[in-house]
Amino acid sequence: MKIYIDGAFYAEADAKISVFDHGLLYGDGVFEGIRFYNGRVFKLEEHLDRLWDSGRAIALTMPLSKEKMTEALLETIRQNELRDGYVRLLVTRGIGNLGLSPDRCKRASVIIIAANIALYPEELYRNGLDVVTCATRRVSPAALSPAIKSLNYLNNILAKIEANQAGAGEGLMLNEQGHVAECTGDNIFVLKRGHLITPPISAGGLRGITREVVFQIAGEFGIKVTEPEMTRYDIYTADECFLTGTAAEIIPVVKLDQRPIGDGKPGPVTARFIARFRELTQATGTPIYP
């Protein structure tokens, strides 16, 4: 594996950063997870737009233009001779001192990793996930905007630990008001009487790019989507449920807190969304190879 760090490629064993990098010391930085399929990067422009927005929100100046960042990302995939996989693109605050202030960090650092990924085994896409509600609440948007995809994921990790300990595939996170925010790494949708529902971003969820693709697909299918405040009741009583995320793609949920959702099996509408999403990923995107 070859990894990009600030303009050069390194073998995995030689890919290193300074212990004084504030991304390591304080989680001070932003990132994107990006998928590529069949020799094309899916929704690359949207991912870079979100990365730039995250950087702007934390007053982090990107060290590369979008054009140069695009070329660095594509070249990282080429260097690893991949056609399908996952890119982790990180921009850290860079090297500073042990103080908290980012003013001592002279230049941000870019790290790009391209590799294969399978977040969930294929049988879970056929049979569905079990999800549990986590006691760990989603950080308030008043404290840290969920729109910022930062390097500090400790809030999500603590919830993921709870889900793992419960033997569940994912964990549902609520906000301080008890409304559904998102799962530990994915947005959530439910279908009720032919109507698709997902929590508003203001509840504490990420502005998911796959989430936006689902809105697009719903428009193609003539399915209405709304974003009301949701509680667990809306999931318990749903006809179907699925999660969305770059790594997870679209995956069915069949249980929440041991309560079957619908008939306890992935639903037919979810299957249509999965099929259409896979069509889009195979046929659209930024070409990697000339």
Least confident range from 23-27, 29-33, 61-65, 145-149: namely 145-149
Count of beta carbons in the 10 Å neighbourhood of residue 161? 14
Which of these is catalytic: 2, 149, 160, 255?
149
Q: Is 16 a catalytic residue?
A: no
Q: What is the C-alpha to C-alpha distance for residues 251 and 274, in angstroms, rounded to an integer?
A: 8
Q: What is the pLDDT of residues 76-135, one digit of tens each?
A: 999 999 999 999 999 999 999 999 999 999 999 999 999 998 778 889 999 999 999 999
Q: How many domains does the chain have?
A: 2
Model confidence at 63, in pLDDT bands (50, 70, 90)? very high
pLDDT at 119: 77
Mean pLDDT of 8-34: 98
94 plus 147 within the same structural domain: no
Domain that holds residue 158: 122-282
126 plus 110 within the same structural domain: no
Q: Note whether 284 and 70 are within 8 A (CB).
A: no
The enclosing domain of 84 has a CATH number of 3.30.470.10
275 plus 216 within the same structural domain: yes
Beta strands in the chain (DSSP E): 2-5, 8-11, 29-37, 40-41, 85-92, 109-115, 129-133, 170-174, 180-183, 187-192, 195-197, 225-226, 240-245, 249-256, 259-260, 286-287
221 plus 175 within the same structural domain: yes
The enclosing domain of 263 has a CATH number of 3.20.10.10
Assigned domain for 208 exists: yes
Q: What is the pLDDT of residues 241-288, one digit of tens each?
A: 999 999 999 999 999 999 999 999 999 999 999 999 999 999 999 999
Task: Check whether 50 has a pLDDT greater than 80.
Answer: yes
Among 64, 94, 115, where does a domain finish? 115
Q: Note whether 102 and 140 are within 8 A (CB).
A: no
151 plus 108 within the same structural domain: no
